[in-house]
Structure 1
Amino acid sequence: MTAVMWFRRDLRLGDNPALVEAAADGGDGGVLPLFVLDPRLWGTAGISRRLYLGDSLRALDASLRDREGGSGGLQVVRGDPVRRVVAAAREVGASRVHVAADHGPYGSERDAAVEEALARHDIELVRTGSPYAVSPGRVLKKDGTPYWVFTPFSRAWAEHGWRGPIDPPRRVRYLTLADTSGIPDLQRPDGLSLPTAGEDAARRRWRAFLDGPLTDYARDRDKPGVDGTSRMSVHLKWGEIHPRTMLADISERGGKGTQTYRSELAWREFYAHVLHHRPETARDYYKQEFARMEYDEPGELFEKWQQGRTGFPVVDAAMRQLRATGWMHNRARMIVASFLVKDLHVEWQHGARHFMEWLVDGDLASNQHGWQWTAGCGTDAAPFFRVFNPVSQGRKFDPDGAYVRRWVPELADAEDPHEPVDPIVDHAEERREALDRWERIRG
C-alpha cells in the first residue's frame, strides 16, 4: 500500500499530523510527498511571495531528502489540482491522499472537487488537522452558533484547548514521480530582501524571539522602529511551524509579553473562524451598510500610496518596507490602511489586494479582516470615526524616527522626520470628508 501526502500550507515535517497519518497509511509501500503549483494561486502572487514559496519548497525538499530512510524529495507538479493530484495518486498506486484541512473559501471548494475526482478512482481524501491550533468550526456558542466578537471567542478557544506537538515520522520511504515541473527558480530583483524560509529557519527565529523580545513584547510590539515582534507570521502562513508548537512553548513561560502574544495567536484563529462561517467576507463587507458609502476610484493618489510617495513619512516608510522586504509591521499596516480608506477614500478591497500581492505572510483571513477592522466594517471594528492621524501616529509609535529614517532615506537627517513633505492630501480636510460620507450612510 502507498499513500500521498499533499503539502499546501504545512511545509514542514515536525508536528504535522497529516504527514504522520500518511506515513502510517503508506507503511512499507511508501509516501509520495506532493506539492501542486496551482495557477489560480501562483498567478495572483507577487514576486515576493513567489520567491519565498520557492525557497520554502526547497527547504522542505532538502528536509525530505535528509530524513532517515528518505529516498526521494518533494515532487512538484504544475496545473489544476483536480487533475494533477488524481494523476499522481494513480501513478504511485495510492489508496489515500492525506492533507491538512483547508478552511478558506477557495481551498475548501478545491478540496471538495479533488475529493470527488479521487472517489471516481476509489481513492480517498483524508483530512487530518489544519493550520490552526483549533480548526475553524469547532469553537461555537452553547446554542451552536458562531462567535462574532473576539473576547468571548478567545475565552472559548482557550477552554477548548488543543493537542500537544508531535514528532515527525521516522523511516519513511518517499516516492517519486516520473515527470515533475521542479521547484520554480526565479530571478530576485535588486534590493529585495526576504526572510529566510523553511522549517529550520522558523525554529531559529522562534527560539530567538522566546529568548529575547518576548519579555518586552507587550511594550514594544507597536513600535515599528524596534525589533520587538516575532516575525513569525510568514512561517505560520506557509506552515513552516504550527501554532500548537508555539503555544506549547509559551505555556512554559509567564509574564505580560506571553499573555499578549497568546492573544495575537488567538486573533489569527478568530479571523479564520469568521472567514470559515462568512466566506463571502473574503471580498465583501462584513457589515453590509458600508457598501453604500461613497468611495473614490483608485487613481494617481492610489498609485502614490502603493509606491510610498504620499508625503506622509510613516505611511511612505511602511509602503517602501513592504516593497523591499515583503513584510510590514502590524502597527504600520493599520496606519496605511486607515490612510487609504479614510484619507484617500478608496475601498478597502483595493488595499487588501495590494497587500495580498506583496506580503510574504499574506494570510487571506487575517489580511481581509484586518483591513475591514481598520475600515470600520469588520468584526470588533475600530469605529469609523477613529481616523488615524499619520503624523501623530508616527510620532507616538516611532518617537525617535528610526523607522522613517530607515525606509525614507531622504529624511535621514531631518530634524523632525514625521513632518509631512509635499503631502498629497490635507489630512484634516480628508478626515472631515470621510466623516461626512459616513454620516450619509448612517441615516
Structure 2
Amino acid sequence: MPTSVMWFRRDLRLADNPALLDAVADGPVLPLFVLDPALWGPAGPTRRAYLGASLRALDEQLRQHRTRLSVVRGDPVRRVVLAARAVGAERVHAAADFGPYGRRRDSAVEAALAEAGIELVRTGTPYAVAPGRVTNGSGEGYRVFTPFSRAWSEHGWRAPADPPSGASWTVLEDGTTEIPDPAPPAGLELPEAGEAAALRRWEEFLDRVDAYDEDRDKPGVDGTSRMSVHLKWGEIHPRTMLAALARKRSTGAATYRKELAWREFYAGVLFREPRTAREYLRTEFARMAYDRPGTQLEAWQEGRTGFPVVDAGMRQLRAVGWMHNRVRMIVASFLVKDLHLEWQHGARHFMHWLVDADLASNQHGWQWTAGCGTDPAPYFRVFNPTTQGRKFDPGGAYVRRWVEELRDPERVPDPHDPDLETRELVGYPAPMVDHKAERQEALDRWEAVR
C-alpha cells in the first residue's frame, strides 16, 4: 500500500480527526509538523511556548503507537514536498485552513506537490461547519451574529469521528529537528497542553456548564471553560464539545453553544473579508481622528491606567497569557473609547501575549468592541470601567487577585474606585483620564465621520 503524509497544523490530536482517518486508510502514515517561520516568528513567546508543549504531547501519544512526530523547519512549500518524496507518499492529508495566510500557503503547497505527482487532500476543518457554508437567502455570508447563529444551528454538523485503529506508521530518517521547547516569558504560567489535558478540562467544565449562563461574566469566579486554547490548537474539535452539549438541556449549555457559534461566525467573516485581519470591516471608521500611541498605550499594556478592572485584566494577561472575556471587552473599550487609539494596537498586543490568540476571533472581537465590526449600531456603546467592575466583580475578588496594591481590604475598602488618599498610601496610580470627558470626546469624533 502507498504511504501518505498526515500534515498536522491546527489539529494536534488523534481522536475526531477526519484527515488522519483518511491518511490511515491510504496505508502507512508519516505524522508531520512543519515549523513555518512565517507563523513561528510572529506568534509571540506565549503561543510559541504552548505550541512546543502541545507538539510534545502529540509526540508522546504517537510514541504509544510506536512512532513519533517528524518535525521539520522551513517553508512548507519546500518541506512538505521533500517529506512526501522521502517516504514515497502519493498523498498529503490535512484539514482545510480558512485563514488568509493558510489559504495562500496551501495553494502554493498544492501546486508544488502536483508538480511532484503528489496530491494534497483536504479533509475536515477546525470548525463544526466550514466557513462560507452557512449563508443567507441570497447566498451571502452573514454580517450579524444572531441570524447566523440560527442558520448555523439549523445547518447542523457531523458526529465526532472515531479515533484511528489498526494504523501503521513511518518516520522521516533525515532532515528533522527537535521539537522546540522555548521557555514561557518570565513568571508566566501556561495551562497544561495536549489532547488528554483538553479532554480532562472539558469533562471538568461539563460538571458545571449548567451554571455557565449565570457565571460566565464574573471574572472573579471559575465560571468559564478555559477551552479556547485547546480549540486554538485543535487539541479538541468543536464537534466533540457540541455532541456533549447536545445531551444537556440547561440554559448554561445553550449559552455555551452560542459561544462556539461566535467562534465560527468570526471565522466566516474573516474568510469572506481577509483584509479585516488588519483593516476596518466598516471602512468609514478608518477616517476617524485617533491619537498617536505613546505613554498611554504603554500604561495600558502594563496595567497602570488607574482603573482597577482594566489594570487587573492587563496584568492577568501578562501573568497567565489569558484574560476573562468580559474583561477583554472592558480593556478594549477603554483603549479605543477612553484613550482614542486604533483597535489594531490592542489587537496586536493581544496576539503577542494570548496563549489562545486566534486571528479571526481576536481581530473581530476587537472590532466589535471598537464599533467598527459586525454590529449594526455599536459606537455609542462605551463601557464605564468602574461600573463594569462593580457589576461583574461586585466583591472585588478579581481586582484584588491581580492588582497587588489593592489586595488588602483593610487598607483598600473599595477596590473598584479607591480615593486619591488611598491610592497614594498603597502606591496605586490615579486614573489616567476622566472617563466621562473621554466618553463624550469619543462620541464627538464619531459624529464627525457619521
Matched to 2:21, the amino acid is V
Count of paired positions: 435
2:144–2:376 Cα contact (<8 Å) kept: no
What is aligned with 2:25? Answer: 24
Q: Given the alignment, which residue of 116, 131, 135 partners 2:130?
A: 135
Matched to 1:22, the amino acid is A
Instruction: Tell me the distance in 2 between the aligned counterparts of 1:234 and 1:297.
Output: 32
What is aligned with 1:299? Answer: 294
Distance 1:90 1:125, change over 3 A: same
In the TM superposition, residue 317 of structure 1 has moved relative to its aligned partner by 0.5
In the TM superposition, residue 173 of structure 1 has moved relative to its aligned partner by 2.1
What is aligned with 1:317? Answer: 312
1:163 corresponds to 2:158: yes
2:184–2:190 Cα contact (<8 Å) kept: no
In the TM superposition, residue 166 of structure 1 has moved relative to its aligned partner by 1.3
Q: Given the alignment, which residue of 402, 407, 410 partners 1:407?
A: 402
In the TM superposition, residue 154 of structure 1 has moved relative to its aligned partner by 1.1
What is aligned with 2:251? Answer: 256
1:44 corresponds to 2:39: no
Distance 1:435 1:267, change over 3 A: same
Helix, strand or coil at the partner of 1:43: helix
1:375–1:381 Cα contact (<8 Å) kept: no
1:437 corresponds to 2:432: no
In the TM superposition, residue 40 of structure 1 has moved relative to its aligned partner by 1.1
What is aligned with 1:370? Answer: 365
1:195 corresponds to 2:196: no
Matched to 1:38, the amino acid is D
The CA RMSD measured in Å over matched residues stands at 1.0
1:75 corresponds to 2:70: yes
1:49–1:358 Cα contact (<8 Å) kept: yes
Cα deviations by residue, 1:75-129 (Å, 9 ceiling, x for unpaired): 1111111111111111111111000000011101110010011100011110000
Instruction: Tell me the distance in 2 between the aligned counterparts of 1:39 and 1:320.
Output: 29
In the TM superposition, residue 189 of structure 1 has moved relative to its aligned partner by 3.7
- 5+ long unaligned stretches in structure 1: none
Counterparts in 2 of 1:338-353, with a 5 A limit? 338-353=333-348
Helix, strand or coil at the partner of 1:95: strand
Instruction: Tell me the distance in 1 between the aligned counterparts of 2:344 and 2:270.
Output: 15
Instruction: Tell me the distance in 1 between the aligned counterparts of 2:437 and 2:134.
Output: 44
Instruction: Tell me the distance in 2 between the aligned counterparts of 1:298 and 1:16.
Output: 44
> Percent identity of the aligned residues?
72
Instruction: Tell me the distance in 2 between the aligned counterparts of 1:92 and 1:429.
Output: 66
In the TM superposition, residue 260 of structure 1 has moved relative to its aligned partner by 0.3
Helix, strand or coil at the partner of 1:44: helix
1:373–1:381 Cα contact (<8 Å) kept: no
2:46–2:185 Cα contact (<8 Å) kept: no
Counterparts in 2 of 1:319-398, with a 5 A limit? 319-380=314-375, 383-398=378-393
Helix, strand or coil at the partner of 1:195: coil
Instruction: Tell me the distance in 2 between the aligned counterparts of 1:329 and 1:264.
Output: 14
1:229 corresponds to 2:227: no
Instruction: Tell me the distance in 1 between the aligned counterparts of 2:369 and 2:303.
Output: 19
1:100–1:129 Cα contact (<8 Å) kept: yes
Instruction: Tell me the distance in 2 between the aligned counterparts of 1:289 and 1:142.
Output: 27
- 5+ long unaligned stretches in structure 2: 419-428
In the TM superposition, residue 381 of structure 1 has moved relative to its aligned partner by 5.7
Instruction: Tell me the distance in 1 between the aligned counterparts of 2:344 and 2:291.
Output: 12
Matched to 1:423, the amino acid is P
1:215–1:257 Cα contact (<8 Å) kept: yes
Structure 1 residues 367-376 or 412-421, which shifts more?
412-421
Instruction: Tell me the distance in 1 between the aligned counterparts of 2:211 and 2:113.
Output: 50
